[in-house]
């Protein structure tokens, strides 16, 4: 990864921060994207090895902001070699328990960020990747895309859509030397799920895996790092589960 320019969305915390740290440790220059967590994004950059890293901001639900953000990342890094689509939102909205307005809001915001936003980031990043003669896109999905999420159906649907997007782009972009792969974690020990892991459901969640724990962000980051490497280019179209065998699909 030495010398490569990498944009990581949602890199101010959790999986995104771990991904940024892993790329920087491998010698890459990283654009740390955030939406509202400016201080957290600055903390991420401060934790990165090496120099030449930049911070970029955008609400991924805003198409114009996405284009400006990707272009700013490419300008700040001197190009783009790798895009990691990690940013996402997650709202509880069980169908039988929320108002119709709340249902609509959850679906609109979730799809706008997790799926349409990610698609727009890909669209804007591809010209920069092509200008370098190729590169890699790695999308961060979820096991929920396969097993379903009864309390967060929009989240599961957005991640299933992200899986399909990745495979469609793998077919479209291989001719340009761009690989497109996906990682699908289960529960990961991050701020997003801390209340669940620390609450009464925590033991049951950990017991879903035969390891008796959930994933560490660094474990997801290592999978992303491998898939983004030139050596993994022929794995394009792949969806890699990183869930500790908590959910096995056939």
21, 86 contact by CB (below 8 A)? no
Given 100, 123, 155, 176, the catalytic residue: 155
In DSSP terms, 33 is beta-bridged to: 56
Span 85-90, mean pLDDT? 96
Q: What is the architecture, at CATH level 2, of domain 5-242?
A: 3-Layer(aba) Sandwich (3.40)
What is the mean pLDDT of the segment spanning 37-49? 97
Instruction: Label residue 2 by pLDDT band (50, 70, 90).
Output: confident
DSSP state of 89: -
Per-residue model confidence as pLDDT tens digits over 104-162: 999 999 999 999 999 999 999 999 999 999 999 999 999 999 999 999 999 999 999 99
Whether residue 192 is predicted with pLDDT greater than 80 in this model: the reply is: no
Cα 221-226-227 angle, rounded to 5 deg: 100
Section 66-83 average pLDDT: 98
- Ranges of each domain in the chain: 5-242
SS3 of 154-220: the string is: HHHHHHHHHHHHHHHHHHHHHHHCEEEEEEEECCECCHHHHHHHHCCCHHHHHHCCCCCCCECHHHH
Q: Is the pLDDT score of 34 beyond 80?
A: yes
Does the active-site annotation cover 176? no
Q: How far apart are CA 190 and CA 169, in angstroms?
A: 29
With 90 as the cut, is the pLDDT of residue 67 above it? Answer: yes
For residue 195, pLDDT over 90 is answered with no
Q: What percent of the chain is modeled with pLDDT above 70? A: 100
% of the chain at pLDDT higher than 90: 94
Contact 82, 135 (CB under 8 A): yes
Mean pLDDT lowest among 2-6, 64-68, 198-202: 198-202
């Amino acid at each position: 990864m030495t010398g490569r320019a990498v944009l990581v969305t949602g890199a101010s915390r959790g999986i995104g921060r771990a991904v940024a740290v892993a790329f920087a440790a491998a010698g890459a220059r990283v654009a740390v994207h955030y939406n509202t967590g400016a201080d957290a994004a600055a903390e991420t950059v401060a934790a990165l090895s090496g120099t030449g890293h930049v911070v970029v901001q955008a609400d991924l639900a805003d198409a114009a902001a996405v284009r400006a953000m990707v272009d700013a990342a490419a300008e700040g890094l001197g190009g783009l070699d790798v895009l990691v689509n990690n940013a996402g939102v997650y709202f509880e909205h069980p169908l039988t328990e929320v108002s119709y307005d709340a249902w609509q809001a959850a679906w609109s915001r979730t799809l706008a960020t997790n799926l349409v936003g990610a698609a727009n980031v890909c669209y804007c990043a591809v010209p920069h990747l092509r200008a370098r003669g190729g590169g890699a896109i790695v999308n961060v999905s979820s096991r929920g895309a396969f097993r379903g999420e009864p309390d967060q159906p929009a989240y599961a649907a957005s991640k299933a859509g992200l899986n399909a997007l990745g495979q469609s782009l793998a077919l479209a972009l291989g001719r340009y030397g761009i690989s497109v792969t996906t990682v699908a974690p289960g529960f990961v020990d991050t701020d997003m799920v801390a209340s669940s892991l620390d609450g009464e459901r925590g033991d049951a969640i950990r017991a879903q895996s035969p390891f008796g724990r959930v994933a560490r962000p660094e474990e997801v980051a290592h999978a992303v790092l491998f898939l983004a490497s030139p050596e993994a280019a022929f794995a394009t179209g792949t969806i890699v589960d990183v869930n500790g065998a908590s959910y096995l699909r056939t």
